[in-house]
């Protein structure tokens, strides 16, 4: 059977290479998410080598996340127009080249540019990969299982990045946290032609103005939130930048209404669950990423774990997420529906964060970290995949690229917004406790407790939003 025949019958019969293709796509998802976290423990070494300022270090993370989140919508649109496989492979070509630039970076500017280009490549990969996952499975039960592997690869990428970053930085050098992407990228591109179908294409135009406006608005908003730590929330500078970003968003929506082929057709927000599902995913990221971020800091700065041992301490949570997402989440969605799982998962995650919000400065891993982290793993496992399914549940086949781009955009932008805001809240609490004369470590721990509590409040609010807004659709 030739490739054209396979494509013609893709919807009628299961694609014979679908599980091998899924493994390839999960590898891609793993790498994309890993790149957001692998640099964390390498930051001190990078600072010493390239001469970053303490405040400038944040851009090693933000340059990736901001470009990733800002260009995802364009990535989804390009996937719909030119075919998911082509955009997927172009994304990996950019990511691989950008990883080489970041790995050999000779200055702060060169590394920031490399990280931004990594984000660009990932923004093309993510929506195309999700579209390719959906297109390979015609059996709903198999699709739920595939989503389990997909979600597990994302969760594993986030936590494994911390562990691998510690191992690589300790035994090789920080350069290899970026260079590790190169052999993986080359292998993915090699096997993509063999395992992935080209995917549907259609005629249309790329909305360049919309892409520029939405990216600029997102970048400016995240930059403004991050910079409030120094400028202050009530400063004239912060007010002006927030106002400018709001103007850009308004202009973007005006342009979208006037375009015959907009980047984001405004009508897509009428699709059942799309708007509510994306809001839930953004808020989920805004709670989960701070949990991971501050837990890693607690292990290193309060319990004085090394970067390597901190990564080891996160492995039980990572393994639990992988096992639960692969073995149970799909079955629970099939039995109870995505809405019930979302609400239950958010409340379990909120319980985990409540436990962490009472974590003492002289705590222990077995008593204070392990139980709460495993509870958090259960909450994330119950929420992430059902949230993704809910967001795309009402989309038509020709809208899946755009819908997946919106889901990924919501999650990445939510993680950037949530982390920036909760870091600012945590810093304010730490400063306030220090003023009262408490020891530095007690003040720092008080800031971490406030961060966990704030993220827990986000979970509770998100559960209420899901209860009111998410609809159960007939299959």
Q: Which of 262, 280, 301 is the last residue before a domain boundary? A: 262
283 and 412 in a common domain: yes
| Residue (of 271, 310, 275) closest to 169 by Cα position | 310
Inter-axis angle of helices 236-258 and 208-231, nearest 10: 170
357 domain-assigned: yes
- The answer on 375 and 473 residing in a single domain is yes
The list of the chain residues with pLDDT below 50 reads 1-11, 54, 475
Helices 400-435 and 208-231: angle between axes, nearest 10 degrees: 10
On whether both 298 and 172 belong to a single domain, the answer is: no
pLDDT at 464: 94
Residues 40 and 145 in one domain: yes
Q: Determine if residue 144 is left, alpha or beta; phi over 0 gives left, psi from -120 to 50 gives alpha, anything else beta.
A: alpha
Q: Which two tokens stand for residue 221?
A: 């908003």
Q: Locate 14 and state its tokens.
A: 């299961």
Contact present, 61 and 162 (Cβ < 8 Å): no
Same domain, 213 and 302: no
Q: What is the extent of the structural domain holding 446? A: 271-475
Question: Are 303 and 405 found together in one domain?
Answer: yes
Q: Give the separation between CA 415 and CA 407, rounded to whole angstroms.
A: 12
**DSSP classification of residue 473:** P
Say if 1 falls within a structural domain. Answer: no
Q: Is residue 355 part of a domain?
A: yes
In a domain, 3, yes or no: no
- The rounded distance, in Å, linking the Cα atoms of 118 and 35 is 8
Q: What's the pTM? A: 0.76
Q: Can you tell me the distance from the alpha carbon of 288 to that of 387, in angstroms, rounded to the nearest whole number?
A: 13
Q: Does 9 reside within a domain?
A: no
**Do the Cβ atoms of 129 and 27 come closer than 8 Å?**
no
**Whether residues 19 and 150 fall in one domain:** yes
Looking at the fold, whether 127 and 94 belong to one and the same domain comes out as: yes
Q: Are residues 159 and 212 in the same domain?
A: no
Domain count, the chain: 3
CATH number of the domain residue 406 falls in: 1.20.1250.20
Are residue 468 and residue 335 in the same domain, yes or no? Answer: yes
DSSP string, 169-181: HHHS-TTHHHHTH
Asked if residues 75 and 123 have their Cβ atoms less than 8 Å apart, the reply is yes
What confidence score (pLDDT) does residue 204 get?
Answer: 67
Distance from the Cα of residue 119 to its chain's centroid: 11
The alpha-helical segments, DSSP class H, found in 11-57 are 18-37, 43-50
Based on the fold, state whether residues 132 and 84 are members of the same structural domain.
yes
Residues 199, 220 share a domain: no
Q: With respect to residue 221, please indicate whether it lies within any of the assigned structural domains.
A: yes
Q: Residue 37 domain-assigned?
A: yes
Q: Is 262 helix (H, G, I), strand (E, B) or coil?
A: coil
Q: Is residue 427 part of a domain?
A: yes
E strand residue ranges, 301-413: none
């Amino acid at each position: 059977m030739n490739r054209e025949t396979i494509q013609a019958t893709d919807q009628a019969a299961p694609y014979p290479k679908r599980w091998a293709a899924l493994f390839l796509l999960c590898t891609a998802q793993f790498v994309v998410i890993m790149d957001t976290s692998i640099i964390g423990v390498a930051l001190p070494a990078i600072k010493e080598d390239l001469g970053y300022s303490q405040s400038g270090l944040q851009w090693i993370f933000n340059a990736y996340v901001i470009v990733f989140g800002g260009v995802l919508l364009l990535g989804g649109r390009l996937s719909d127009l030119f075919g998911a496989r082509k955009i997927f492979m172009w994304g990996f070509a950019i990511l691989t080249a950008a990883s080489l630039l970041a790995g050999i970076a000779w200055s702060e500017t060169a590394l920031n540019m490399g990280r931004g280009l990594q984000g660009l490549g990932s923004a093309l990969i993510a929506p195309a990969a999700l579209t390719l996952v959906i297109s390979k499975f015609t059996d709903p039960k198999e699709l739920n299982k595939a989503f389990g592997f997909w979600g597990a690869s994302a969760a594993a990428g986030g936590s494994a990045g911390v562990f691998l970053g510690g191992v690589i930085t300790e035994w090789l050098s920080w350069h290899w946290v970026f260079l590790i992407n190169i052999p993986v990228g080359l292998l993915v591109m090699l096997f993509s032609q063999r395992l992935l179908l080209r995917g549907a294409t259609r005629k249309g135009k790329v909305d360049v103005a919309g892409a520029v406006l939405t990216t600029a608005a997102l970048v400016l908003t995240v930059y403004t939130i991050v910079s409030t730590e120094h400028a202050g929330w009530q400063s004239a500078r912060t007010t002006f930048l927030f106002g400018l970003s709001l103007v850009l968003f308004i202009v973007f929506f005006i342009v979208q209404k006037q375009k015959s082929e907009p980047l984001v057709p405004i009508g897509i927000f009428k699709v059942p669950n799309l708007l509510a599902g994306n809001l839930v995913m953004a808020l989920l990221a805004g709670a989960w990423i701070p949990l991971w971020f501050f837990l890693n800091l607690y292990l290193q700065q309060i319990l004085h774990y090394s970067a390597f041992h901190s990564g080891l301490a996160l492995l039980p949570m990572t393994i639990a997420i992988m096992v639960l997402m692969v073995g149970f989440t799909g079955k629970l969605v099939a039995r109870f529906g995505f809405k019930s799982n979302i609400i239950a998962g958010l409340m379990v995650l909120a319980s985990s964060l409540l436990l962490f919000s009472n974590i003492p400065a002289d705590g222990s891993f077995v008593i204070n970290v392990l139980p709460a982290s495993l509870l958090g793993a259960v909450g994330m496992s119950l929420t992430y995949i059902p949230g993704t399914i809910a967001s795309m549940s009402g989309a038509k086949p020709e809208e899946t690229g755009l819908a997946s781009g919106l889901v990924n955009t919501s999650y990445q932008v939510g993680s950037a917004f949530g982390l920036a805001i909760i870091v600012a809240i945590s810093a304010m609490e730490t400063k306030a406790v220090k003023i009262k004369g408490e020891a530095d470590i007690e003040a720092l721990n008080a800031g971490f407790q406030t961060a966990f509590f704030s993220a827990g409040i986000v979970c509770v609010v998100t559960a209420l939003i899901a209860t009111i807004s998410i609809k159960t659709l007939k299959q």
